[in-house]
Each structure stands twice: as C-alpha cells, then as structure tokens.
C-alpha cells in the first residue's frame, strides 16, 4: 500500500501515476505478461494487476469474486486494487491498515474477466486462470478467499494445487456481504490472522 488513505485512485494524478508504473515496476511484469496473453483469449475485458501491490513477490493473496463493471468502464481505473474508489476496496484498505498488513499483498479475482453473473463454466475457467497466476507467486504463504462463491470454487478446483499455503476463508468485502456485524468481525479476524502468519 503506497498511500495513507482509501479510494486514492479517485484522484486523476494518482491514477495516471499508477498506470505509468505498469510498464516499469519489475515485480508486476510477469503477471502483466500473463494478463496480456490471457486477455487475448477473451472477448470480455480483464483488469490489470496493481503495480503498487507486491506482484510476483506477494506473500498474501486476496481472492475476490469478479471485477466490477465500474472498474472496467471508460471512467474506471482498470485495476484490481485496494485503492479503487469503491466501498469494497475501501473495506479492504481499512482492514489491511487496521491489521498492519501494508506490504507483501496482491489482490485478484476468482473470475478475472468481466461477467455480470458468473455461471459454473465461468467459475471453472476462472479457477484455471487463477491456477496459472498461483504458479507466478513463488513466495506465496497465505490465500484469503473472500466470499462463499470464491471458497466453493477454490475447494472444487484448487485446494490441492498449493499445499504449502495457508488458506483463510473470509466473507465477501462488498456492502451487502458485510451488512451484519458478525461478518465484519469475521473479515477483520481473517485479515489479522493473515498478518500474524506473515509477520
């Protein structure tokens, strides 16, 4: 996390700087090369990895469900980022900041391409893509699965792929998922546990 407040990519100057980092940040190049190849096979857009994240040096991976349409719209950031100007990203930022989990983190989606209501085929395809991403993360220690749908897809397709990592199940990070305090507490405890595991 480079910045000291949530929703920082609402600032055009910050967003332009972040975009400029895509071509220069060394830790993001292998992931962005994978993304470019993967996007070429899809008819729907795929957001960028955030170069302010840890990239291929990540020790903690947050897996959200799918990209939001706003992110990939003409006025969107185009990133999977804790700094995005939306409530879900803000919640991730708040929980990471509270836990002190500022470094060594990457965010991505179980279904990496734009689809409004993922079906079983979309989720199977997403799991296959995530498997490719996992192979690019040699330092990975913790995977945080955010939402029931993400957890079910992981359990069905990926749970034996990375036996060396600790998998933590957490609620989704959107307002609807966190409407109850018990879910907010679950998310907080999950992020705190991730921080304890990586120090």
Domain boundaries, the chain: 8-198
Residue listed under structure tokens 């990592």: 165
Helix or strand holding residue 49 (H, E):
strand 48-49
DSSP per position, 11-36: SHHHHHHHHHHTTT-GGGHHHHHHHH
CA dist 150 and 155 (Å) reads: 9
Q: pTM for the complete prediction? A: 0.96
Residue 111, number of CB atoms within 10 A of its CB: 23
The structural architecture, per CATH, of the domain 8-198 is 3-Layer(aba) Sandwich (3.40)
- Provide the pLDDT for residue 78: 98
Q: Splitting the chain (199 residues) into consecutive groups of 10 residues, what average pLDDT does each group show?
A: 88 97 96 98 96 98 96 96 96 96 98 96 98 98 98 96 94 88 95 98
Instruction: Give the bridge partners for 48, in sequence order.
Output: 79
Convert the pLDDT of each residue in 2-50 to its tens digit: 688 999 999 999 999 999 999 999 999 999 999 999 999 999 999 999 9
């Amino acid at each position: 996390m480079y910045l000291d407040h949530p929703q920082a990519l609402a600032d055009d100057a910050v967003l332009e700087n972040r975009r400029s980092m895509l071509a220069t940040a060394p830790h993001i190049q292998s992931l962005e090369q994978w993304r470019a190849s993967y996007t070429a096979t899809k008819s729907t857009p795929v957001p960028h990895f955030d170069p302010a994240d840890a990239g291929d040096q990540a020790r903690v991976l947050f897996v959200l469900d799918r990209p939001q349409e706003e992110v990939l719209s003409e006025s969107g950031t185009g990133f999977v980022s804790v700094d995005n100007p939306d409530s879900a990203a803000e919640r991730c930022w708040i929980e990471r900041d509270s836990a002190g989990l500022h470094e060594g983190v990457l965010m991505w989606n179980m279904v990496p391409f734009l689809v409004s209501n993922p079906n079983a085929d979309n989720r199977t395809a997403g799991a296959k893509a995530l498997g490719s991403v996992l192979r690019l993360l040699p330092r990975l220690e913790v995977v945080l699965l955010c939402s029931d749908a993400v957890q079910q897809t992981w359990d069905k397709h990926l749970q034996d792929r990375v036996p060396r990592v600790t998998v933590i199940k957490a609620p989704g990070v959107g307002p609807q998922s966190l409407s109850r305090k018990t879910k907010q507490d679950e998310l907080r405890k999950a992020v705190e546990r991730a921080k304890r595991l990586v120090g």
